[in-house]
Structure 1
Amino acid sequence: MRKFVWFWNIFHYSLYRWEVYAGNIITYPVRKILRNEHVKKKYAERGVENPEKIVFSTLNDPDSGVRVFLAGALAVVLMFLLLYSIFNIIVGLFAVRINLELNYLFLMLGASILINYFLLFRRNKYMVYFKEFAKMQKSEKDKYGWLSFLTALSILVLTGFSFQFAN
């Protein structure tokens, strides 16, 4: 179980790194605007010395930033898809006739939220792992990033595969 907790945390860390990278690309125009001298002067009149630093620390801060919550939401969605896929395959293999109602989907969503809560967010457990992972060498981070990408891709493929077992 400890290895799974470690893996899910490195998976979440990789999702966070992807989110920061993609978010920085998407928000590049905002960054350019915040670097404009006229904009800096307007913010300085309001007592803000470096608006770019404030905006992007709000977005990228691993403790309370927006992007860590988006990465957590993506981890919940991927866990939900994994549970949904396993449910479809088990129902299909054992030829059980179940009408997949919203109750089952909400149950799986609740289970995926609980799993992620206990593996990542309870007592900010992910922060301990984030500090550990931040100390890794770049090559090791990249290796686990690719492994996380393949895991996410595998979950999506498994979800697509599981539809043939759905009732």
Structure 2
Amino acid sequence: MSVAGTIADAVVAAVTGLGWTAGAPPAAVPVVKRKKPSLPSGKNPVEVVVSVGEEGAVRPLTGSKDRVKYPATVAIFTAGGKLTGEDEPLRLRREQVRKLVNTRAAFASVPGFNRVTPEGKNPYDPAALAHDLNMSVLVFTVEVDEPRSD
């Protein structure tokens, strides 16, 4: 599996472990990985989408390793986008994700993991989102030490 795929799987597993439920009767909130944070037609919120972009900065670390940075996003989709009031439950979920993903333990399954840094910048245009949805995106930079090819 690719490094980006391994990072995505680690984040999906961590967020799934939060055990979020929604709806009546309560059902588990799906946590899925996609190429970009999106909620396809026919999918109903609440859903969490994990996306890992193309590798960013690649810096030589040693003669045989590079340090590679990957942008990872966690997008939380909920209903109620037309409402103008504060969405405290969504803010609490964001805090839970930020605190959980910003740990070494979340990436224990990623070989060569070095560190994770919360970025707080949304790389996707929220204007493309349907107006009856909320999308809250958390962005992390995940650094991995990878062997160079011979």
TM-score, scaled relative to structure 1: 0.29
Higher-RCO chain (CA-CA 8 Å, sequence separation at least 6): 1
Q: Point out the structure with max Rg over C-alpha.
A: 1
Which of the two has greater helix per residue? 1
TM-score, scaled relative to structure 2: 0.31
